[in-house]
Amino acid sequence: MSFELRDRDLLGRIGRLTVKGKTIETPAFMPVVNPLIETIPAKKLRQDFGCEILITNSYIIRNHFKDVPNLELHKLLDYDGVVMTDSGAYQILVYGEVEVTQDEIINWQKQIGSDISVILDIPTGWDVPREKVEFTVKETLRRAEEALPLIEDTPNLWVGPIQGGRHLGLVAESATRIGKMPFDIHALGSPTEVMERYMYPVLVDMAMTAKLNAPVERPIHLFGAGHPNILAMSVAMGYDLFDSAAYALFAKDERYLTTRGTYLFKDLQYLPCSCPVCRNQSPEDIRDLPRGERQRVIAQHNMHVTMSEMETVKQAISEGSLWDLVETRAKGHAQMTSALKTLSKYSKHLEAGSPGFKGKGVFYYDYHSLAKPEVIRYQNRLVNNYQSPENIDTRILISAPQRKPYSRSREFRKLKEKLAQGKKEIQYCFIAAPYGLIPEYLAETYPASQYQIAEPLDQETIQHTVNNIIEYLEKYPIKNTVIIFRDNEMERELVGKLGEKYPSIKIEELDQTGLSDQILGLIIK
Ligand SMILES: [Zn+2]
């Protein structure tokens, strides 16, 4: 196998995965195709929707075509892209057992020419007692070990599933142990039920735990994630492969997917989409179709919107704006917004995965943006690496001017010029949300030089900024501190707190005209 990384943002990445001479780009969405009920034929999925990879179920195929001599999967599906096969583990989850042994299903996947194949793992499922969860983790690991002699030296890529459900300690153990075995790809098992119940915050904890404990150089698959509104966040967590039958299942109930949520088709007055289905027909046209035909065109729309979201996600990675996209998508759904908060807990990990400057300014919408890699990175740099210049005895905290970079603003240059006469060694720091302090010498560097923040600030952002400033002042204490503030909510809060903490601090307020000579006089004194 080769898995080559081309670009990244947060933990998300654009990669090239090669199997049996075929290369696909990741992150990739795999539609679930049932050869017995092809809502959209596989060939059409490739030609009209650009699906270079799909997933089907080797267990179902075996049950129906076991006796067909020399059955070849790609011929059966009439599809020449990459085919992943599941093993029947999902049927174990639903029916409790399957009528096949692991050896049989592994050999079957080899025999029919599957490209990416799965061992017969035991999915954890939901609402099961802890002993049962422990059993699924242990048994999956045992089966993985047992499968190794059967899968070595095969051209297929083999998937080592990770179990543990919502028991994060077990997820971590499962990921660590299977990660030591020579599998090509890993997959987080059974989050489907979590997603069906919209427990997105739980999903984030499960997915992040698995991701952080699995080998980073291997692709990782999130089983059953297919609603377009969850894709951006899942990619941000470092997942590369997704599969779902949602496009077809939702269409059966005449549900229309969008990145902002799901609509019942009968409720739609308009079609908020520009795919070929929606561009050429009105909602009435589609409602007038016979039921089967209507379901078919809704499935086509659902597939278009999912594939198009994947492109949007990749574009966001390439321009370094994946967090913005995740925030936008999360705001469409209350549980997704909660999931975004959960994801913020992992901001240090997301930051570690992000490259630096991608040429784009940073935009802060509200407190959710505090988890952005740029903020985390700036704070680490300031508190841990930034050293105050030596020999200074005075630090002036000044409300950030209107123009960036702050250090080049007229207001600031005037202040500096005047104070230079006093011949004191002074460190200048700008007060700026959400960063806290921006020392003069960082003001011209990214991201301090290129960002925008939506005002008025919310309480969380105000507290965050004030706390950052206090943290810095405590870490790098200095003899004299002067604060020149503007009369706004954040800076009033800051002045109140600093005044209490440091009674000797000099506090001056900027008036409408900015720095008056009178204020300058006070500071110099
Ligand atoms: Zn459409």
What CA dihedral angle connects 8, 14, 19 and 22, to 10 degrees?
-150
Overall average pLDDT of the 228-232 stretch: 93
- Identify the band that residue 195 occupies on the pLDDT scale cut at 50, 70 and 90: confident
- pLDDT above 70 for 60: yes
- Identify the band that residue 516 occupies on the pLDDT scale cut at 50, 70 and 90: low
Q: Which of 7, 9, 86, 127 is catalytic?
A: 86
User: Helix or strand or coil: residue 288?
Assistant: coil
Domain chopping of the chain, boundaries: 2-353, 362-524
Overall average pLDDT of the 440-457 stretch: 89
Report CA(306)–ligand 1 centroid distance (Å).
Answer: 10
- pLDDT above 80 for 389: no
The pLDDT value given to residue 23: 97
Comparing 417 with 460, which gets the higher pLDDT?
A: 460
Residue-wise pLDDT tens digits, 396-448 = 999 999 888 999 988 888 888 887 776 678 889 999 999 999 998 888 888 88
Q: Can you tell me the distance from the alpha carbon of 189 to that of 448, in angstroms, rounded to the nearest whole number?
A: 41
Report CA(288)–ligand 1 centroid distance (Å).
Answer: 17
The pLDDT value given to residue 253: 95
Report CA(362)–ligand 1 centroid distance (Å).
Answer: 31
Report CA(261)–ligand 1 centroid distance (Å).
Answer: 13
Fold (topology level) of 2-353 = TIM Barrel (3.20.20)
For residue 280, count other CB atoms closer than 10 A to its CB.
9
- pLDDT above 90 for 21: yes
ipTM: 1.00
Q: Where are the alpha helices (DSSP H) in 219-290?
A: 228-236, 246-252, 276-280, 283-287
**Is 362-524 a CATH 3.40.50.10630 domain?**
yes
Q: Can you tell me the distance from the alpha carbon of 51 to that of 54, in angstroms, rounded to the nearest whole number?
A: 7
What CA dihedral angle connects 432, 437, 442 and 445, to 10 degrees?
-40
Task: Tell me which of 43-52, 198-207, 262-271, 514-523 is least confident.
Answer: 514-523
Is residue 153 among the annotated active site residues?
no
Report CA(431)–ligand 1 centroid distance (Å).
Answer: 47
Residue-wise pLDDT tens digits, 118-147 = 999 999 988 889 999 999 999 999 999 999
Report CA(304)–ligand 1 centroid distance (Å).
Answer: 6
The pLDDT value given to residue 190: 67
Question: Which distant-in-sequence residues (6+ apart) come within 8 Å of 456 by Cβ?
Answer: 489
